Amino acid sequence: MAAFDPQDMIDRFKERAAAVKRRPLPPVAGEERQLFISQAQEDFQDFAMIGDAKATLEDGVLTLRIDLRPPS
C-alpha cells in the first residue's frame, strides 16, 4: 500500500470542483432542475474549499487549514 499523500488528496478535490463546473444539466425542469443546480453549487463549494486547503500530516493526524477570511 502506498503512503498517504495529503497533496494528492487536495489535488483530487480540485479536480472534483472542476468536474462539477463541467457537469451538464440533465433534461429536467421546474423544481427538480433547481434542486440539481443547488446541489451542484454545494458540491462545488465543498470540493473547492478542500481543494484550497493546506494539509499537514503529523503523527497520523491529518489537519486541513482553510482560510475563510475575505481577501484583504
| pLDDT one-digit tens code per residue, 7-16 | 999 999 999 9
| Mean of per-residue pLDDT scores for the chain | 92
Report the alpha-carbon distance of residue 2 to residue 65 in Å, rounded: 24
Amino acid type, 26: P
What is the pTM for the complete model shown?
0.81
Q: What is the pLDDT of residues 13-29, one digit of tens each?
A: 999 999 999 988 888 88
Can you tell me the distance from the alpha carbon of 4 to that of 12, in angstroms, rounded to the nearest whole number?
13
